[in-house]
Structure 1
């Protein structure tokens, strides 16, 4: 495996590569780090020499971590079951709660990104034309999401939506009675021995549930190992089974669970995927966890794909 990965890196086939941690059978079997320009969301960090202790944006892999946090909070009785009404969790928006077109929205629709609301993240993540960026700039992120025009019945079609993750983060924080990042620290990070992390915040001071988490790749891999292990005593096992079950088709052999991607082809896998080449892949049949970080932001993830392919082929 190391030989295949090193050949990819030597040949310059992964120019945006930043970090790789591979675990097998619960042990780290390979680590590699690179260098290059990086960002904290849209804040330039300059040229970075990456190592084991360097934090890295997870971008939308943050969403998959939020799904784990929802399961923990559900097990503690802090948040409603997925079948509960979504808009009802924000009673201060009386006009939206009273809107019959939104009455059928549930938390599960947010978990599966099937809200049926207008949302577009095709524009670059540096532009307010991107719905997620517009949400971050809005005076009230939760109202911004929940008041989007209804364009179709919920539950029918997967549409990528960082706003869904933001709303889930808000429900967790309200249920826990503290900010999302503080709840994550006590119920997930500290039990896993993760002592160093950051969670970028919007202008309103709220952690970006959709894209703001920053971890060391080795700690991202530890979260993947937790998933592989069935949650241990940290995430309820029943929740993980539900979260990782394929629920909505994205493409052939590629589906979505609760904020996790699910490969449904010949070899089953689950994965968190983030802009720039951030990947967390878990394949239970091989007892394999692969964490990749990269700097290919707002582009195809060719570098991450090359490194992942080298690991999986090996």
Structure 2
């Protein structure tokens, strides 16, 4: 009896399995001869090649994977996800199907399942879900970090066991794609619709010659002198080499102040001390600072003031009395009753806000969430936009002029750029661009309990309130939230080091250590990458803090 090759059998099995169910929507069909020849397969490439231009010679069978390598995948399928889901739940409409299901991706290393994840329903757009019979996306694209969900998926794979599985040496990477649908409490998963593998020759652990690594010489900066304090330079050289070798990705700058003076200053990826850097949500903390100054000068009565003092909430959608009672403190501690949580698919997720014409209206139109504990912390960017709007309408001359006069000029910060809301109000959601050394000045202001060059810019009381553990961060061990500042402990060399800090997408951070003489700034552009904050934590615990402790 003649045997069919395994792959041809798989093609016929997949085609036959899903052909038994009549299609619900028309799909784009087989797009090319290569598509037809690779039906049910996932192909890997080292470059971003459009499927229409992809040739057999581009397909990887074996690939050397370094910290600077890119990796792309193209999956050739027999049908669209809407029709695959129709096979799992024939009674649902096309609209209902794509709201309840999507693709499931699984990655195996050397035959062992490492990470499996279901793509959220609703992505990509319905028209694509109805028609697309192929997926072409980057898993690793170092030049365009965090652009696609697939890159985030790869980051999650690494953080859930992939990093430890891909040790230096040869490993077989295998990917599978299936359809899934969430039906009430049941998740129904279909058969494999595409799969493929590539043999990886992993070389991610660079050989570092410390003797060849030179630290950047420190020089004075307006308002900041040079520190003469000691530190373990070998540790910092090791960190610098790992950044340059791509072990730590998309790091732009590392600045350390000791006793208010520059101790370490290193830049990467084309940045220097004059580069204005986008720190994303680090900018939220600046709204807290200006709020403190406005209270100190009497333009706000205090953080207990409520929204009803600034807005006629009856004019907005989903009015409830609970909205009236939301206080400035609730916005500062991210604990208001609004149904907004950037970490979930809530109505108030920031990604739903940005396309709208009026972000304040978006926030105040939101319903309240009565199922979440009333004072529980939830990351709510839109609430900080409302706080910025309150400041803008309350302080003389508006937020931009006031912040410049009361904060930036006293700190000697002259070069910076605000982003703006659609109403041209400074965007307190984040993104204010400063130089790394000016971010360090800002951190030092809090280290100095609000004082700079003998002038009390912020009251000591406001700094103390800001550096109070007002809220527990759900799901994180011993992490807390103050007034738009985070708090956690670093455990280094048997010591617990308490830090309040600003944090932004990409790994951007300003760490202030109340019990130590340090301010640490890390600027980074790993936007949207799952590894962004974990790699900063590793830099801090493995290199920066040990270097400061080991003098």
Judge same fold: TM > 0.5, yes or no: yes
Aligned mate of 1:185, from 404, 420, 431: 404
Q: Does 1:267 align with 2:500?
A: no
Q: Does 1:196 align with 2:421?
A: no
Cα distance per residue 1:53-88 (max 9 Å; x no partner): 000012111111110111011101112311121243
Contact 1:22 1:29 in 2 (8 A): yes
Pair 1:282–1:223, CA change in 2 (3 A): same
Question: Structure 1 residues 296, 16: CA separation in 2 closer, same or farther (over 3 Å shift)?
Answer: same
The 1:299–1:87 alpha-carbon spacing in structure 2 relative to 1, beyond 3 Å, is farther
| Matches of 1:120 and 1:163, distance apart in 2 | 9
**What does 1:289-308 align with in structure 2 at a 5 Å threshold?**
289-300=519-530, 301=532, 302-308=534-540
Q: Could you tell me how far 1:110 is from its partner in structure 2?
A: 0.7
Q: Contact 1:122–1:130 (CA<8 Å) still a contact in 2?
A: no
Partner residue of 1:278?
508
Cα offsets for 1:2-33 (capped at 9, x unmatched): 43122123133212110011001110100000
Report the alpha carbon displacement of residue 154 of structure 1 after superposing the two structures with TM.
Answer: 7.1
Residues 1:226 and 2:456 aligned together = no
Once residues 299 and 502 of structure 2 are traced to their aligned partners in structure 1, the CA distance between those partners, rounded to angstroms, is 25
Match of 2:309 in 1: 88
Contact 2:282 2:431 in 1 (8 A): no
Q: Please tell me whether the aligned partners of residues 221 and 280 of structure 1 are also in contact (alpha carbons under 8 angstroms).
A: yes
Q: How does 1:129-168 map to 2 (within 5 A)?
A: 131-152=349-370, 155-168=374-387
- Matched-pair contact (CA < 8 Å) for 1:296–1:303: no
The whole-number CA distance in structure 2 between the counterparts of 1:18 and 1:157 is 34
Q: For the Cα contact (< 8 Å) 1:135–1:144, is it kept in 2?
A: yes
Contact 2:318 2:366 in 1 (8 A): no
Distance 1:129 1:278 in 2: 26
The answer (yes or no) to whether the contact 2:392–2:425 under 8 Å persists in 1 is: no
- Helix, strand or coil at the partner of 1:273: strand
Alpha carbons of structure 1 residues 130 and 102: separation in structure 2 relative to 1, 3 Å: closer
Alpha-carbon distance between aligned partners in 2 of 1:207 and 1:275, rounded to the nearest angstrom: 19
Work out whether 1:27 is the aligned partner of 2:261.
Answer: yes
**Once structures 1 and 2 are overlaid, which stretch shifts more, 263-272 or 64-73?**
263-272
Question: Which residue of structure 2 aligns with residue 210 of structure 1?
Answer: 429
Which structure has more RCO (C-alpha within 8 Å, separation ≥ 6)?
Answer: 1
Whether 1:256 aligns to 2:481 is yes
Q: Residue 53 in 1 paired to residue 278 in 2? A: no
Structure 2 distance, partners of 1:213, 1:271, is 16
Return 152-161 or 106-115, whichever deviates more: 152-161
Q: Which whole-Å CA distance do the structure 2 matches of 1:115 and 1:154 have between them?
A: 10
Q: Size of the alignment, in residue pairs?
A: 298
SS in 2 for 1:67: helix
CA distance in 1, matches of 2:522, 2:233: 14
Report the alpha carbon displacement of residue 158 of structure 1 after superposing the two structures with TM.
0.6
Q: C-alpha offsets along residues 88-128 of structure 1, whole Å, 9 cap, x if unaligned?
A: 3123754579732323311111110001221242489xxx9
TM-score (norm 1): 0.88
Query: Equivalent residue of 1:213, what SS?
Result: coil
Q: Is the 8 A contact 2:318 2:367 kept in 1?
A: no
Rounded Cα–Cα distance in structure 2 between residues aligned with 1:113 and 1:289: 25
Paired residue for 1:246? 469
Residue 83 of structure 1 aligns to a residue whose secondary structure is: coil
For 1:101 and 1:227, the matched residues in 2 are separated by 33
Is 80-89 or 302-311 further displaced after alignment? 302-311
Aligned alpha-carbon RMSD (Å): 2.3
Q: Confirm or deny: 8 A CA contact 2:348 2:363 kept in the other structure.
A: no
Give the structure-2-normalised TM-score.
0.51
Partner residue of 2:75?
Answer: none
Map of 1:40 onto structure 2: none
Match for residue 10 of structure 1? 241
Structure 1 residues 313 and 143 mapped into 2: Cα distance closer, same or farther (>3 Å)? same
- Asked whether 1:176 is paired with 2:395, we answer yes
Does structure 1 retain, via aligned residues, the 8 Å contact 2:339–2:348?
Answer: no
Q: Retained in 1: the 8 A contact 2:406–2:457?
A: yes
Give the SS at the match of 2:254. strand
Query: Which residues of structure 1 form unaligned runs of 5+?
Result: 36-48
Q: SS state of the match for residue 375, structure 2? A: coil
Match of 1:55, SS? Answer: coil
What CA distance in whole angstroms lies between the structure 2 residues aligned with 1:284 and 1:175?
32
The 10-residue stretch of structure 1 (185-194 or 153-162) with the greater mean CA deviation from structure 2: 153-162
Query: Aligned partners of 1:102, 1:195: CA distance in 2, in Å?
Result: 38
